[in-house]
Amino acid sequence: MGEELHTRAELDDDWICGRLGEDEPWIMGAVHPPVYENSLFTFRTAGDLAEAIKDEDERYVYWRGTNPTVDLVQRKLAALERTERAKCFGSGMGAIAATISSLVSAGDHVLVLGSVYGPTTQFLRYLGKFGVTHDHVGDPDVLDSAIRPTTRVLYFESPSYMRYDVVDIAAVASWARSRGLVSVMDNTWSTPIFQKPLTLGVDLVVHSLSKYIGGHGDLVGGVVAGPSRLIRPLALTEYQLYGAAMSPHDAAKVVKGLRTLPVRMAAHQERGLAVARFLAGRPRVRAVHHPGLPEHPGHAQALRQMTGFSSVFGIELDTDDRAEVAAFLDRLRHFRIGVSWGGYESLANAPALTTEESVRATMGIPVGFVRLSVGLESADVLIEDLALALRRVDRLA
């Protein structure tokens, strides 16, 4: 790629998503990059193979290490996050587990700020059997009292999982760096289109590619992005040994998802805000947790570090009755009931029906909490669907 195009790519997310790494003509004028589905790569001489194995992070030897189709995705994602390297995994948890494992040893401590993805917490608990401990803190103001001499990592999300609290990313990253910690942030909610934590001082960023970046509910994948000094050791050890490599077929789906990511995120933002505004102040809705609403306590901070808002947010129904929450979900017709989010389809999920009470209590999530993922259907249709569901709850009260 020429220097002029490289400079343009660094400044233009649309160009990165659609064209970065795709400047060479494909065979027969194909409009999509080829999928390299072979499991291994051969060499002309034994010496060539020996040299390649010395640097398997950079050379194509075996699918579990490197693959041209996956490499294309990694180049795009690193450029979107404005960093040097990215490594894709077969799932978001694959990326998260490998990232945390690469940064800790027996006896080390991980500090978690705010609410984070449930399986991330489960993984940190699992690490306890190897002598790695962790603590959760809900307020950045108490980080100093929670840090230990053995703390190595600060892990957080912004907006936070389920609660959608907004963290001052630059301040938290600066705090971590001044104390010798590696900061890791899950940026799945915003995508690199709306938020770039690495430019605010965060050391490593992880994503679930299954959500907005893939965007079509047809793949599971994850990525970690950051400077080469942190990504390269991870790529040579945890990536290889955990066996969580992304398949080239899933990588090809990510390439297609990236091509429409800027357009889809703009549509998600528009529809999500329309639905959130409708729900705010409705008689049977106690609260709407969407950072894009001016009344959200983190709205001002969000505007300082984000360029847009995705369409996953929480509402609190005015009820403490699980039956009423279930009735609300059952009445929905255009919102499907299910986990995950980020695709065309709109989804609804209620933690009170799926999550242990002790876990919800730790996260501060009430019985009436419902998570909505606004898809790409008409906002008017979705609003009508929610209005009818709220009427059903009203009749049951």
pLDDT tens digits along 36-91: 888 888 888 998 888 888 777 778 887 777 898 999 999 999 999 999 999 999 99
Residues 276 and 65: their CA atoms lie apart, in Å, by 43
β-strand partners of 153: 110, 182
Active site residue 168: no
Residue from 85, 211, 259, 284 carrying the catalytic annotation? 211
> What is the tens place of the pLDDT at every residue in 297-328?
999 999 999 999 999 999 999 999 999 999 99
Residues 28 and 146: their CA atoms lie apart, in Å, by 59
Lowest mean pLDDT among 31-45, 130-144, 369-383: 31-45
15, 80 in Cβ contact below 8 A?
A: no
SS3 call for 225: strand
Radius of gyration for the chain, computed over Cα atoms and rounded to the nearest angstrom: 22
Residue percentage of the chain with pLDDT more than 70: 95
Strand order in the sheet with 151-157: 85-89, 222-226, 204-208, 182-186, 151-157, 109-113, 133-137
**pLDDT of the residue at 40:** 86
Find the DSSP H helices in the chain: 3-11, 13-18, 46-54, 68-80, 92-103, 118-126, 143-146, 169-178, 191-194, 228-236, 238-242, 248-279, 299-305, 322-331, 351-354, 357-363, 379-396
> What is the tens place of the pLDDT at every residue in 206-265?
999 999 999 999 999 999 999 999 999 999 899 989 989 999 999 999 999 999 999 999
Which amino acid is present at 164?
Answer: Y
374 contacts: CB under 8 Å, gap ≥ 6: 268, 271, 272, 275, 311, 312, 346, 382
Q: What confidence category does residue 24 fall into, taking pLDDT thresholds of 50, 70 and 90? A: low
109 contacts: CB under 8 Å, gap ≥ 6: 132, 133, 134, 135, 148, 150, 151, 152
Active site residue 82: no
Instruction: Give the angle 224-229-230 at the CA atoms, nearest 5°.
Output: 35
SS3 call for 87: strand
Residues 205 and 185: their CA atoms lie apart, in Å, by 5
Residue from 57, 165, 186, 203 carrying the catalytic annotation? 186
Active site residue 253: no
Is pLDDT above 90 for 358? no
Helix then strand count (H, E) for the chain reads 17, 12
Residue from 19, 59, 64, 256 carrying the catalytic annotation? 64
Residue from 36, 60, 117, 164 carrying the catalytic annotation? 117
Strand 312-317 to 285-289 pairing: antiparallel
CA atoms within 13 A of residue 27's CA, in its CB half-sphere: 2
**pLDDT of the residue at 76:** 96
> Which domains are assigned to the chain?
261-396 (3.90.1150.10)
Region 345-374 average pLDDT = 86
SS3 call for 387: helix
62, 40 in Cβ contact below 8 A?
A: yes
184's enclosing H/E stretch is: strand 182-186
**pLDDT of the residue at 105:** 98
33, 14 in Cβ contact below 8 A?
A: no
Active site residue 64: yes
Closest to 341 in 3D by CA, of 178, 161, 211, 247: 211
Residue keyed to tokens 């419902």: 370
| Orientation angle between helical segments 92-103 and 118-126, nearest 10 degrees | 40
> Which whole-number Å values give the CA distances from 236 to 53, 205, 230, in the listed order?
11, 18, 11
